[in-house]
A = this chain, B = another copy of it.
Amino acid sequence: MQYPNQIGQLIESFSKLPGVGRKTATRYAFHILSMNDNDASEFSQSIQETKNAITFCSVCGFITSKDMDPCAIDRDQTRDQTKIFVVKDSQAVMSIDNLNDYRGLYHVLNGVINPLAGIGPENINVTSLINRLKQHPEVNEVIIGLDSSAEGEATTLYLARLIKPAGIKVSTLARGLSVGSDLNYADKLTLSRAVTGRTEL
């Protein structure tokens, strides 16, 4: 017994999403069947339209419409043009920007250096960052906001070594205890970082 071709193909497509196995994909596919026709064509169209209309900004690597390159952030002259926040992906730009704590520019690497997966500096947006810094001597601080993983930290160190010789200040996100967390339950590494990086009151 096999599912009809069309639904088999749909299950196949859903299985390609990150973290989705065969059972979840089947569940999603059956949900599409039970959707009304409008919702289903909207879904189908929005996949196609996203692929057709969205691209990555040629300046900072953030997602943007094809008819709006450079992106809205780079066009916004009210933003602080002297600071660039380096992040892993476009979702991180949204996370940081919605905090309203930072109103400067961004640079999206679209990945981190990961030698085991064959991702070197040439596979992520490092060259465009360095060129951008050369073209804009007004930039005086680069904030590196990558994940606190081995790959994230290695990428941070790599970038810092590359940028600091140009006399630009390089900073990274504070590591320490989460707000509201219990000191006794923190892992050793986090606690050790919180002690080393203690702040004066």
For the complex, give the distance between the alpha carbons of A65 and B3 in Å: 10
Count contacts on A: residues with CB < 8 A to the other chain.
Answer: 51
Main secondary structure of the interface of A (DSSP, over half): helix
What's the nearest-Cβ distance from chain B to residue A55, in Å? 9
B47 touches A32 (CB 8 A): yes
Interface check A82, CB cutoff 8 A: no
| 10 A–B pairs (Cβ distance < 8 Å), ordered by A | A1-B73, A4-B53, A5-B65, A6-B49, A6-B53, A9-B46, A12-B46, A32-B47, A41-B51, A44-B47
Q: Which stretch, A91-99, A117-125, A136-144, A164-172, touches the partner chain B?
A: A91-99
A70-103 residues with Cβ-Cβ distance < 8 A to B are: 73, 89-91, 93-94, 97-98
The answer to whether A94 touches B33 (Cβ under 8 A) is no
The residue on B at minimum CB distance from A20 is B28
Complex formed: what's the CA distance from A48 to B7 in Å? 10
B-side contacts of A50, CB under 8 Å? 6-7, 9-10, 29, 32-33, 40
For residue A187, CB closer than 8 A to chain B, the reply is no
Q: Contact mask A93-117 → B, CB, 8 Å, 1/0?
A: 1100110000000000000000000
- CB-CB < 8 A to A97: which residues of B? 1
How many copies of the chain does the oligomer comprise?
A: 2
Nearest B-chain residue to A24, judged by Cβ = B19
> Using Cβ atoms and an 8 Å threshold, which residues of chain B touch A200?
none
Tell me the bound Cα distance from A89 to B33 in angstroms: 12
For the complex, what is the distance from the CA of A89 to the CA of B31, rounded to whole Å? 12
A13 within 8 A of B: yes
A16 touching B1, Cβ below 8 Å: no
